[in-house]
Chains A and B, each alone.
Chain A
């Protein structure tokens, strides 16, 4: 079973994604902050893919992404933000995909499938 890590400081978003991806047959690991996500990954809860929010309190998603690229080069990361302007931030280009949050999760699910198949 593929393990997906959801990193978002919004509990409702975490809950929604957990429900949706669990129902699709993935093991879902949750992190409520960037630092928590990094700690979990370092402590062997190594996911197959990370869905990463950007705007978070302690450490933003772009900083987490930068660290992940340094330590875990091959780990697929999807940036999933309510902001569209971060698309122009060069760091966001380091991610495998950038998707703006939407109630319609079909695009996100498709991207997850695509990245995990590769």
Chain B
């Protein structure tokens, strides 16, 4: 729509609608103070003076304050004895002037817009889809949709909000995710000024989104923070619009009840156009738009255009959400796979440690025994011969070399010498949890549960500690009754972190059996494994123990010193 002036006088509005000129009844140009600058020869009776005019045209005040705001058609308020008119209000011939054009009241402006809407909406959808195709994330797609809804060259609403479906505490909800629009008339004026001088176009605004330099678009984003509408609340109109997949204009009077207080407080009052976003497969959310700044009434034709636009946008939103969901699942799978590989490595390390310990034991036994005998007899002989004896030097050499081998053996057989230790401060809960994850596939006869309150930090090599816990958990599982629950409770007791092992029943017998296994276990292998676990725990100042709480309560526990900064 283009307004034309000649010598400061209004000459017409260029439009495809020929009925505009035919139904013109007169015009007025007002200055920034709301005073008449020019009037046509005849003007409708309602416009005799500026005050009366402002009463009849509630949008006039806004246009006088913001003469650069794009023009729009309004209906004058019908007074008792006066006729209602269709009125166009928009920029006047000078930059601080406003033009008011009066038409016959019977002029069907909305009908005309609907007649031309197919071309208009097709153009908007083409532009928006072109931009959407270039977007690489859902957030940008939603912003492009919102721009299409609010830009003057788009659907022209003042503000728009997108709510997407999601689960909150296992309840299906509509969650406010994105908003666009000015938060005040001043901000609106600045944006419309840029629009009027051609600094901002629909394409340039889409470009801004794609370049991630959103300007003037986040002002009302904060209004949505945490806004959630439960979909199972059947009395809620927004939930109804979503579930019944029907568009509606919700009048402000309907919202004036306590149920919508949060929404009213955030978005302000005024009629809202609500359109469901329904993809090919499922409901995606709702699109809400209003004319918060201009207070321009939302018509059925506005709603229909919004609905057409939303229909195309919904498919894209659905596709992208499905894609994002798929991408998230792929990433989850990747992470799970990485965890499996890491866990397998840890399990191999624990098993390798056990094998190494066994090997070290054999080496110790097979080497240390003859070494003791050779060295022992050499020393014995050395004591009995004088230093000038021919063999004295040679026996001395044997004793020295045996001593060297013994020292080397001492290092070799100390199990922790094999381990490259990577000590660091870590969360004990995370270590216990990851150990159980590691063993998850093997723990078929019992269910583990972890109880942990405060964050407890320890300093150790997490892998090494996990290896100790694996060996203990192996034993803990081997003696538990089938299909029982085992609770691991992590607590702080003084400077110690304690992990209690408690089965669902027969706690005392279980604790005694597990503890006894550490020192009276059935065979060398079991005892050696538990000895390895204990060696690791003790290396870090930890231990195992048995706690008696009354006659019938007994708990097996693993303890580790708590790490505290500066101590």
Ranked nearest first, the 6 interchain pairs of A and B with the lowest CB-CB distance are: A103-B375, A90-B519, A82-B368, A12-B373, A88-B531, A88-B534
**Contact indicator B357/A101 (Cβ below 8 Å):** no
Instruction: Tell me which residues from 323 to 382 in chain B have a Cβ below 8 Å from any Cβ of chain A.
Output: 357, 360-361, 364-365, 367-380
Q: Which of A86, A89, A101 contacts B372 (CB 8 A)?
A: A101
Instruction: Tell me which residues from 385 to 425 in chain B have a Cβ below 8 Å from any Cβ of chain A.
Output: 399, 402-403, 406, 410, 413-415
**Contact indicator A102/B406 (Cβ below 8 Å):** yes
Identify the closest chain A residue to B375 (Cβ). A103
Which of B373, B378, B528, B535 has the most C-beta atoms of chain A within 10 angstroms of its own C-beta?
Answer: B373
Residue B538 at the chain A interface, CB threshold 8 Å: yes
A-B contacts counted at CB < 8 A amount to 92
**Contact indicator A10/B519 (Cβ below 8 Å):** no
Residue A66 at the chain B interface, CB threshold 8 Å: yes
**Contact indicator A13/B380 (Cβ below 8 Å):** no
Q: Provide the residues of chain B in CB contact with A93, threshold 8 Å.
A: 519
**Contact indicator B373/A10 (Cβ below 8 Å):** yes
Q: State the main secondary structure of chain B at its contact with A.
A: helix
- Known contacts A85-B357, A86-B531; A102/B518 CB under 8 A: no
**Contact indicator B413/A103 (Cβ below 8 Å):** no
Residue B266 at the chain A interface, CB threshold 8 Å: no
How far, in Å, is B560 (CB) from chain A's closest CB? Answer: 16
Q: Which of B364, B403, B520 contacts A104 (CB 8 A)?
A: B403
**Contact indicator B518/A103 (Cβ below 8 Å):** no
Q: Which of B371, B379, B413, B519 contacts A84 (CB 8 A)?
A: B413
Residues of B within 8 A of A (CB): 357, 360-361, 364-365, 367-380, 399, 402-403, 406, 410, 413-415, 518-520, 524, 527-528, 530-532, 534-535, 538
Q: Provide the residues of chain A in CB contact with B375, threshold 8 Å.
A: 102-104
**Contact indicator B403/A82 (Cβ below 8 Å):** no
Q: A88-B534, A90-B519 are in contact. List 10 more A-B contacts (CB 8 A).
A: A15-B373, A16-B372, A55-B365, A55-B524, A85-B528, A85-B535, A102-B372, A102-B375, A102-B406, A103-B373
**Interface readout for A91-109 with B: 1 if CB under 8 Å, 0 if not?**
1110000001111110000
Identify the closest chain B residue to A8 (Cβ). B369
Which of A10, A102, A105 has the most C-beta atoms of chain B within 10 angstroms of its own C-beta?
Answer: A102
- Known contacts A20-B376, A85-B531, A89-B519; A103/B402 CB under 8 A: yes
Q: Provide the residues of chain B in CB contact with A85, threshold 8 Å.
A: 357, 360-361, 413, 415, 528, 531-532, 535
**Separation of A10 and B372 alpha carbons in the complex (Å):** 11
How large, as a class, is the contact surface on chain A?
20 to 34
Instruction: Tell me which residues from 36 to 62 in chain A have a Cβ below 8 Å from any Cβ of chain B.
Output: 55, 60, 62
The contact sample of 20 A-B pairs, CB cut-off 8 A, is A13-B372, A16-B377, A19-B377, A20-B376, A23-B380, A82-B364, A83-B361, A85-B357, A85-B528, A85-B531, A88-B531, A88-B535, A89-B518, A91-B519, A100-B368, A101-B372, A102-B406, A103-B376, A104-B379, A105-B376
How far, in Å, is B197 (CB) from chain A's closest CB? Answer: 83
**Contact indicator A16/B380 (Cβ below 8 Å):** yes
Q: Provide the residues of chain B in CB contact with A86, threshold 8 Å.
A: 527, 531
How far, in Å, is A88 (CB) from chain B's closest CB? Answer: 4
How far, in Å, is B379 (CB) from chain A's closest CB? Answer: 6
**Contact indicator B378/A103 (Cβ below 8 Å):** yes
Identify the closest chain B residue to A82 (Cβ). B368
**Contact indicator A91/B520 (Cβ below 8 Å):** yes
Identify the closest chain B residue to A63 (Cβ). B520
**Contact indicator B370/A105 (Cβ below 8 Å):** no
- Known contacts A16-B372, A66-B520, A91-B519; A82/B365 CB under 8 A: yes
Q: Provide the residues of chain B in CB contact with A62, threshold 8 Å.
A: 527
Q: Provide the residues of chain A in CB contact with B403, threshold 8 Å.
A: 103-104
Q: Which of B371, B414, B528 contacts A103 (CB 8 A)?
A: B371
**Contact indicator A88/B538 (Cβ below 8 Å):** yes
**Contact indicator A83/B364 (Cβ below 8 Å):** yes
Q: Which of B367, B370, B380, B532 contacts A12 (CB 8 A)?
A: B370
**Separation of A104 and B360 alpha carbons in the complex (Å):** 21
Q: Provide the residues of chain A in CB contact with B371, threshold 8 Å.
A: 103
Identify the closest chain B residue to A16 (Cβ). B376
**Separation of A92 and B524 alpha carbons in the complex (Å):** 13
**Separation of A13 and B374 alpha carbons in the complex (Å):** 10
Q: Which of B378, B380, B519, B530 contacts A19 (CB 8 A)?
A: B380
**Separation of A113 and B144 alpha carbons in the complex (Å):** 91
Identify the closest chain A residue to B370 (Cβ). A12
Which of A12, A85, A105 has the most C-beta atoms of chain B within 10 angstroms of its own C-beta?
Answer: A85
Q: Provide the residues of chain A in CB contact with B376, threshold 8 Å.
A: 16, 20, 103, 105
Q: Provide the residues of chain B in CB contact with A60, threshold 8 Å.
A: 524
How far, in Å, is B220 (CB) from chain A's closest CB? Answer: 67
**Separation of A60 and B526 alpha carbons in the complex (Å):** 14
How far, in Å, is B400 (CB) from chain A's closest CB? Answer: 11
Q: Which of A23, A82, A84, A103 contacts B399 (CB 8 A)?
A: A103
**Contact indicator A90/B518 (Cβ below 8 Å):** yes
- Known contacts A88-B538, A103-B399; A82/B369 CB under 8 A: yes
How far, in Å, is A16 (CB) from chain B's closest CB? Answer: 4
Which of A23, A84, A93, A100 has the most C-beta atoms of chain B within 10 angstroms of its own C-beta?
Answer: A84
Q: Provide the residues of chain B in CB contact with A90, threshold 8 Å.
A: 518-520
Q: Provide the residues of chain A in CB contact with B524, threshold 8 Å.
A: 55, 60
How far, in Å, is B82 (CB) from chain A's closest CB? Answer: 102
Identify the closest chain B residue to A106 (Cβ). B379
